[in-house]
Amino acid sequence: MIEFIINLYEFFCRWVLYTVIPLLLIYLFLHRLTRHFGTRNIIDEYVILVMEWIRDVFRD
């Protein structure tokens, strides 16, 4: 049972390390890039659109 819990913990840590952190770094890089060029933040608008789309999908 302990091994199962440890495996779940390792799986969660790997998921965070390999998916969440790179996506966060890409988002921060694109956010800084768009601000550097003086454009309005297109990335934030895109993220808001995706979150609204996800909300609509799970609402139905």
The residue ranges of the chain whose pLDDT is under 50 are: none
Close Cβ partners of 35 (under 8 Å, ≥ 6 residues apart): 41
> Taking a C-beta distance cutoff of 8 angstroms, is the pair 31, 44 a contact?
yes
Query: Between the CA atoms of 55, 57, 58 and 60, what dihedral angle is there, to the nearest 10 degrees?
Result: 120
Contacts of the segment 10-19: beta carbons below 8 A, 24+ positions apart? none
What's the token pair of residue 23?
Answer: 């996506």
Length of the chain as a residue count: 60
**What does the pLDDT read at residue 60?**
63
